[in-house]
Amino acid sequence: MEWKLALPEIALAISALIILVAGVIPKRDTSFGVTMASLGALLLAGGLTLAQGEGSAFGGQYVADSFSTFMKLLAIAGAALGLMLALDWNTKQGIARFEFPILVLLATIGMMVMISANDLMALYMGLELLSLPLYVLAAFHRDSGRATEAGLKYFILGSLASGLLLYGASLVYGFAGTTNFDRLADAFSAQQGISAGVVVGIVFIIAALCFKISAVPFHMWTPDVYEGAPTPVTAFFASAPKVAAVALLTRVLAGPFGDTVAQWQQVIVLVSLLSMVMGAFAALGQRNIKRLMAYSSIGHIGFTLMGLAVGGESGLRGVLVYMAIYLFMNLGTFAVLVAMRRDGRALEGIDDLAGLGRTDPGMALAMAIFMFSMAGVPPMAGFFGKLYVLLPAIEQGFWVLAVVGVLSSVVSAYYYLRVIKVMYFDAPVGAFDARPAAVSVVLAGTGLFTGFMFLFPAPILAAARSAVVAILGAG
Partner 1 sequence: MIAGLAFYLFAAILIACATMVVTSRNPVHSVLYLILGFFNAAGLFLLAGAEFLAMILVIVYVGAVAVLFLFVVMMLDIDFAKMREGFQRYAPFGAVVGGILFLELLMVMGTWQFSGDAAELRLSPVPGGVSNTVALGRVLYTDYVFLFQIAGLILLVAMMGAIVLTLRERPGTRRQVIEDQLAREGKVEILSVPSGKGIRELGIYRPLPKPEPAPKQVSHGHGHGHDDHGHGGHH
Positions in the binding site for partner 1 (CB under 8 A): 1, 6, 13, 17, 20, 57-59, 61-62, 97, 99, 102-103, 106, 109-110, 113, 121-122, 125-126, 128-129, 132-133, 135-136, 139-140, 142, 151
Strands in 35-95 per DSSP E: 55-57, 62-64
| Shortest distance in whole angstroms from residue 36 CB to partner 1 | 19
Query: Measured between alpha carbons, how far is 463 from 190 in angstroms, rounded to an integer?
Result: 32
**For partner 1, the closer CB: 108 or 286:** 108
Residue 313 to residues 41, 334, 336, Cα–Cα distance (Å): 34, 32, 35
**For partner 1, the closer CB: 1 or 427:** 1
| Shortest distance in whole angstroms from residue 183 CB to partner 1 | 15
Query: Measured between alpha carbons, how far is 223 from 150 in angstroms, rounded to an integer?
Result: 9
**For partner 1, the closer CB: 142 or 342:** 142
| Beta carbons within 8 Å of 98's beta carbon, 6+ residues apart | 23, 24, 29, 30, 31, 34
CB atoms within 10 A of CB 66: 18
| Shortest distance in whole angstroms from residue 380 CB to partner 1 | 37
State the alpha helices, DSSP H only, in 283-346: 289-310, 312-339
Which amino acid is it at 414? Y
Q: Are 353 and 367 in contact (CB under 8 A)?
A: yes
| Beta carbons within 8 Å of 260's beta carbon, 6+ residues apart | 188, 194, 198, 199, 202
Which amino acid is it at 434? A
Strand partners, 117: 62
Strand partners, 265: none
116: Cα separation from own chain's centroid: 16
| Shortest distance in whole angstroms from residue 188 CB to partner 1 | 23
Which amino acid is it at 447? G
**For partner 1, the closer CB: 71 or 129:** 129
| Shortest distance in whole angstroms from residue 128 CB to partner 1 | 5
| Shortest distance in whole angstroms from residue 51 CB to partner 1 | 20
Query: Measured between alpha carbons, how far is 273 from 328 in angstroms, rounded to an integer?
Result: 24
Query: Measured between alpha carbons, how far is 473 from 44 in angstroms, rounded to an integer?
Result: 29
**For partner 1, the closer CB: 129 or 298:** 129
| Shortest distance in whole angstroms from residue 246 CB to partner 1 | 21
**For partner 1, the closer CB: 58 or 281:** 58
134: Cα separation from own chain's centroid: 12
Query: Measured between alpha carbons, how far is 49 from 41 in angstroms, rounded to an integer?
Result: 12
| Shortest distance in whole angstroms from residue 386 CB to partner 1 | 36
Strands in 5-97 per DSSP E: 55-57, 62-64
Q: Is 261 helix (H, G, I), strand (E, B) or coil?
A: helix
| Shortest distance in whole angstroms from residue 431 CB to partner 1 | 35
**For partner 1, the closer CB: 98 or 326:** 98
**For partner 1, the closer CB: 13 or 331:** 13
Instruction: Tell me: cis bond preceding 217? Omega within 30 of 0 counts.
Output: yes
**For partner 1, the closer CB: 140 or 236:** 140
**For partner 1, the closer CB: 16 or 246:** 16
| Shortest distance in whole angstroms from residue 100 CB to partner 1 | 8
